[in-house]
Structure 1
């Protein structure tokens, strides 16, 4: 195991049978992230068709009910994150993900067949429970399976699958809108989400439980057996097991919320985690992911053209995530996030200026799309992958599920507030909405610069000791 002083690997360690197995585990687990991405991306294409009257195959959505339908998934995700965090600490990450696969399928079926706005809102909430549960459980599961030198890139694979799912949603939305003449085309868009849910459930049948979770339950023989599958040397296995045993002796003295509320450094970590959720969501990223077609239609673009242009969001996000995965192995978490926020502030202000000052026409549409794509480039390259990586590594082992679940749940609440209020804000305030986002991001930049500790280059056990010392607990 790496010591606290060991730098993060600039290059991936040699390929071995064990590393290939960990990669396969990550692929299976990130089917949850693929479902997460598709379910959050598909709504952007479904909304214009769901807004048509009931007699024409839609649900008759208004700007208010558009926000409610969109945000129902997000608020469900907040509940799902909390529930999954507690369940994954009690029953394990693998078992929790298997259960979430079933919830995904129920939510997909319900939204596909929903006959009314009320039913759609309820089933989007159910689907959100699965999305939120996956968002808090998948990064933790991968981080606990990966070694220190692979953790950043493998956990960042989670973000890659999220944006990959969103890109697939955008492409299929545009294709179905173009080639299908059915008034129920939005139902076909929603039904496709069953595929990654099924793959998640099947994939979890073939992977082991997290060794760190097994160790937290004092199931050391099983933890050793899993480590033998995913670590290349006996020395590394023995060192990791020794660290787990040592931490268990300390951590089992206090568990649950008693440990959180009674331990100052853990309490600080939780507040940092919640603050990072605010930072990630109040960039306004999901306003673009959910509502880009509506933004572009406001510049005069037609529905089908707006849906096609939205594919650019997914392409740029995917390319940016690949670059971010490469950067994250070379640079610290803090400088990446600080740099990303600087560019986000500039692109938000530029978009507001384009929408406010440029005359209506195709050039305004192109300029707005260019600003959105630049925003997404820096957001998905420098902020999003760092956020999900931090959620997988900040919190101590015995509370990792519940604290990650709580922090990610708050992130989903912030996401929901953006999704709920953005259509109304655009209708009331227009382009001024983006200047507000830019101002909020200035505050976020100050928070990251002053409060976020650097976590690069340490094993999870060594990082826990470092953070305890850094945030005020005696060594």
Structure 2
């Protein structure tokens, strides 16, 4: 439903609310009543769901869904004018019309069809790679086990918990920064810079945790390394894959593609949460070298493969992937592809 020029920062809202939720949980964990009243705190997670149920009647159906899926151009135009606050929506409607006409010969793609369709091959590979990298680069290992990481650096449990809150606040702040940069710097640039920063700080964190015997000051260096790592993750690798999951796929494959990206992300989250303690026990600080290698892979992948989607229509994005997939495109689409970086 967001306009082309607003897709980026609106797409970051999901990540922003996640980071705020993490921060609230970390603050709640500071309470002395947490151990005795954990059931009450757990029940509070139902409050957002109740609020959503109460307010969902005020939300609108997506104009793209109405036009492309329901073939309801009239209501699509009505909703679009309502959410844009203007009657000047002809350009967006024309884009939807063109995509709708092209999609008439296509059926909605199932998740199974994603793996056999040449049309979405590199879109699926790219989203899978970015979701795997997002989690296997170690972000949830850092958040799940910040206390353990800082305890290994010599801090008490109480101090480690307070530092974790500071890390959570930094994550929220940098997500705001990402939101402000998404339509200026671009998705691809933020991913490249973000993963580059993560590579550097994964290496530095490994060195710091292996050098704690040098002096107490090294413990504080480890905190700075974790903070630097969070900065890198929050500006790009955190929010951008979720935006790309909706931008990379054509309408007929968008739901299946986004769902597949979500499944991959959750599976990788489980793997990291389950096996990080085991890996950390076996490898010690060197486990962060593995996370750094994953970040390096993502850095190179974004540098060589992924397109910049800032300011691009869905049609232009599909032209780029059509060339990558080796799918035939029309002369008009070829012209769009040749001019996509202008």
Report the TM-score, using the length of structure 1 for normalisation.
Answer: 0.64
For residues 175-234 of structure 1, the C-alpha deviation after alignment (integer angstroms, 9 at most, x for no partner) is x2xx32x64343344232122222222232211111111221223332222112112443
Q: CA separation in 1, counterparts of 2:99 and 2:314?
A: 11
**TM superposition shift of 1:466:** 4.7
* Equivalences for residues 306-325 of structure 1 within 5 A: 306-325=160-179
Match of 1:234 in 2: 87
Match of 1:165 in 2: 21
Q: CA separation in 2, counterparts of 1:369 and 1:454?
A: 33
**TM superposition shift of 1:249:** 3.0
Match of 1:399 in 2: 253
2:145 is paired with a residue whose SS is helix
- Count of aligned pairs: 326
* Equivalences for residues 239-258 of structure 1 within 5 A: 239-255=91-107, 256-257=109-110
Q: Does 1:195 align with 2:47?
A: yes
Pick closer, same or farther for the CA change 1:211–1:389 going to 2, 3 Å: same
Gapped regions of structure 2 (runs ≥ 5): 331-342
Contact 1:167 1:315 in 2 (8 A): yes
Aligned-residue CA RMSD (Å):
2.2
Contact 2:64 2:96 in 1 (8 A): yes
**TM superposition shift of 1:251:** 1.8
**TM superposition shift of 1:288:** 0.9
Q: CA separation in 2, counterparts of 1:462 and 1:449?
A: 19
Aligned pair partner of 2:211 in 357, 366, 371: 357
Q: CA separation in 2, counterparts of 1:420 and 1:363?
A: 32
Contact 2:130 2:241 in 1 (8 A): yes
Q: CA separation in 1, counterparts of 2:29 and 2:287?
A: 27
Q: CA separation in 2, counterparts of 1:466 and 1:241?
A: 22
Aligned pair partner of 1:345 in 199, 206, 222: 199
Pick closer, same or farther for the CA change 1:344–1:234 going to 2, 3 Å: same
Contact 1:334 1:452 in 2 (8 A): yes
For residues 337-375 of structure 1, the C-alpha deviation after alignment (integer angstroms, 9 at most, x for no partner) is 111111101101111111112129854442222211111
Contact 1:352 1:431 in 2 (8 A): yes
**TM superposition shift of 1:469:** 4.6
Q: CA separation in 1, counterparts of 2:299 and 2:7?
A: 25
Q: Does 1:204 align with 2:60?
A: no
**TM superposition shift of 1:292:** 0.5
Match of 2:74 in 1: 221
For residues 74-116 of structure 1, the C-alpha deviation after alignment (integer angstroms, 9 at most, x for no partner) is xxxxxxxxxxxxxxxxxxxxxxxxxxxxxxxxxxxxxxxxxxx
Aligned pair partner of 2:317 in 454, 463, 474: 463
Aligned pair partner of 2:269 in 392, 415, 421: 415
Contact 2:153 2:212 in 1 (8 A): no
Pick closer, same or farther for the CA change 1:360–1:416 going to 2, 3 Å: farther
Contact 2:121 2:325 in 1 (8 A): no
Q: CA separation in 1, counterparts of 2:35 and 2:265?
A: 35
Aligned pair partner of 1:186 in 25, 38, 54: 38
Q: Does 1:296 align with 2:183?
A: no
**TM superposition shift of 1:400:** 1.1
Report the TM-score, using the length of structure 2 for normalisation.
Answer: 0.87
For residues 262-306 of structure 1, the C-alpha deviation after alignment (integer angstroms, 9 at most, x for no partner) is 542312211111111122112211111111112122233332222
* Equivalences for residues 427-438 of structure 1 within 5 A: 427-438=281-292
Gapped regions of structure 1 (runs ≥ 5): 1-144
Farther-moved stretch of structure 1 (360-369 vs 443-452): 360-369
Contact 2:188 2:302 in 1 (8 A): yes
Pick closer, same or farther for the CA change 1:230–1:464 going to 2, 3 Å: farther
Contact 1:173 1:189 in 2 (8 A): no
**TM superposition shift of 1:428:** 1.9
Contact 1:349 1:434 in 2 (8 A): yes
Match of 2:336 in 1: none
Q: CA separation in 1, counterparts of 2:324 and 2:184?
A: 23
Contact 2:26 2:164 in 1 (8 A): yes
Q: CA separation in 1, counterparts of 2:116 and 2:211?
A: 53
Q: CA separation in 2, counterparts of 1:197 and 1:367?
A: 40
